Amino acid sequence: MSKHSAIVGGSTAGRLLACPASLARTRALPPSADAPSEYADEGTAMHAVMDLLMRFRVGGVDAVEPAGYVGQTFHDRALTHDHLDSMIYPALEHLQTLEEEYAADFPFHVAGVEQRVTFPGIPGAFGTVDLILQNERFTILVDWKFGQGIGVKTVYSDGQGAIVNPQLMYYAAAALKTKPGLFARRRIVVAIVQPRSLEPLTFTEITRREIKNFVEDVHDAVLAAVDRNPPLRKGEHCRFAPCKIDCPLWTGAVLDLTALKPVERTAAVKGPTPYGEYLARAKALVDTVVQFKTELDSQMHAYLENGGAIPGWRLKDKATRRAWVDADTVYGELIELGFSSDEIFRAPELVTFQQAEATAKRLGVAIPDALRVAPPPSGTTLATTDDPAPVVEPTALVERFAASLRLLQQQQAGK
């Protein structure tokens, strides 16, 4: 089941508020193929780990060692020590810091994990809150972010003043409406924990008046969005908006390269200069092109997977990384080559290819290729028509899905 509303959700609330026209323009696009990125899959897996750990707290178990789950599969991958060191342990540490900030003499307990909530006044509008903490004085809504690139803050500036992240305001409004008892006689705090960001923990207290105003603003934005001529605005809210592929505010900026108007380079001086203004224009244009390319690639991929044709382009299988075959086979083969147990396992995981190759080189042996195999392709990617990789036809995608469905049915029937 989807975790996001098709009308307005946490991730789209800010875009709808800034550009009501984005709703109709996004709906008018062809349906996109459900092909999440590697980064999205990694984030989903780490969310699953945190969900498990937080559910133990719901049951009254506060100290569960995450290392005990290394090797267990979450979403689509096995949990590794690197996952723990770079994301899970830091997330837990920042969560502890957040709790200490508001705990005083009242320790927190987990009141909700992956809590589905409905937004007031808009049929079909819902969202999912990652974590809800509660003590005698505060209710805290926590949103996990495991991305490494763009940092997401609880409070940011829109150029005119400080604004609370619309996604968090959406969750707060929906949670207050769905679970009012969690907020009775308590102050409300929203927080983002993003371990690999430059600011891994940001949080702020919000008032019920702010939530009420936000709900009214969203209602107004929805009404504007379904009007005959909704407002169209360009800004930071467009970064992940698929509708910018044919938005005149974007295509005009991308195609009008004459707007750059190069000037002669001059020495650096304090204060405005024609060359400094040129650099600002160039940077803005390049950033626009980069965002436009990302969305264009996504739309091309979806169009081809839905059976469309694009001159000069086609689909090919997405490259997959090789992985060890089953641990028992690897262990037996490497022991015969002269490896010790400590050179095969970094408990409870197998060592990396690089570590195994270093040991093999020292022993003067070669690791059989059969021990390291590439898993079946998990998706497709764009390729030019002269790419030597095999062509993947849309019909093949349907057949793969049907085969996967049959396998799942067989597995369920065998239970």
CA distance 334 to 95: 42
What confidence score (pLDDT) does residue 2 get?
Answer: 45
Instruction: Give the helix/strand (H/E) hosting 274.
Output: helix 274-305
Give pLDDT, residue 278: 74
pLDDT in tens, the chain (415 residues): 345 556 788 888 888 888 888 887 877 776 654 445 667 788 899 999 999 999 988 877 776 788 888 888 898 888 999 899 999 999 999 999 999 999 877 889 999 999 999 999 888 888 999 999 999 999 999 999 998 767 788 998 766 778 899 999 999 999 999 999 999 999 999 999 999 888 899 999 999 999 999 999 999 988 888 888 888 887 777 777 777 767 777 766 555 555 666 677 777 777 778 778 777 777 777 776 776 777 778 778 777 877 788 887 888 877 777 788 888 888 899 999 999 988 888 766 788 888 889 899 999 999 988 888 877 766 788 888 777 777 777 654 445 545 555 555 555 555 4
- Three-class secondary structure of residue 336 per DSSP: helix
The pTM assigned to this predicted structure is: 0.65
Tokens 């308590």 locate to 186
**Spatial separation of the C-alpha atoms in residues 77 and 42, rounded to whole Å:** 8
Q: What is the crossing angle of helices 208-225 and 166-178, to 10°?
A: 110
Q: Which two tokens stand for residue 269?
A: 């001086």
Nearest to 163 by CA among 206, 121, 200: 206
Give, as one character, the DSSP assignment of residue 310: B
Return d(Cα 373, Cα 259) in angstroms, integer: 51
- The residues near 404 (Cβ < 8 Å, ≥ 6 apart) are none
pLDDT at 33: 44
Ramachandran assignment for 71, one of left (phi > 0), alpha (psi -120 to 50 degrees), beta (any other): left
What does the block give as tokens for 25?
């323009």
Distance from the Cα of residue 327 to its chain's centroid: 31
Give the DSSP letter of residue 414: T
Find the farthest-apart pair of alpha carbons in the chain and give their distance in angstroms, rounded. 75
Specify the pLDDT at position 293. 76
Q: What is the structure's pLDDT at 271?
A: 75
